[in-house]
Amino acid sequence: MTNEAKDLNVLYIVGDGFRPEEYFYSKEEVENGGFKVITAGKQKIVPARIIPGMPTSTNADITFNNIGFDKQEYCAVVVPGGSPGWENLYKNEKVMEILKNAQKKNLLIASICASPAVLAKAGILKGKKATIYPGMGEYLSSKGAIAVDVEERFENKTVIIKDKNFITGNGPWASRKFGKAIVEELNKKFKNNRQTIRQ
* 8 A C-beta contact, residue 83 and residue 171: no
Q: At what angle do helices 20-32 and 175-198 cross, to 10 degrees?
A: 30
| Low-confidence stretches of the chain (pLDDT beneath 70) | 1-7, 71, 192-199
* 8 A C-beta contact, residue 48 and residue 114: no
H or E element in which residue 166 lies: strand 166-169
47-91 pLDDT, tens digit each? 999 999 999 999 999 999 999 887 678 999 999 999 999 999 999
Structural domains in the chain, sorted by start? 5-198 (3.40.50.880)
What does pTM read for this prediction?
0.92
Which ranges in 61-149 belong to alpha helices (H)?
Answer: 85-90, 93-104, 116-121, 138-141
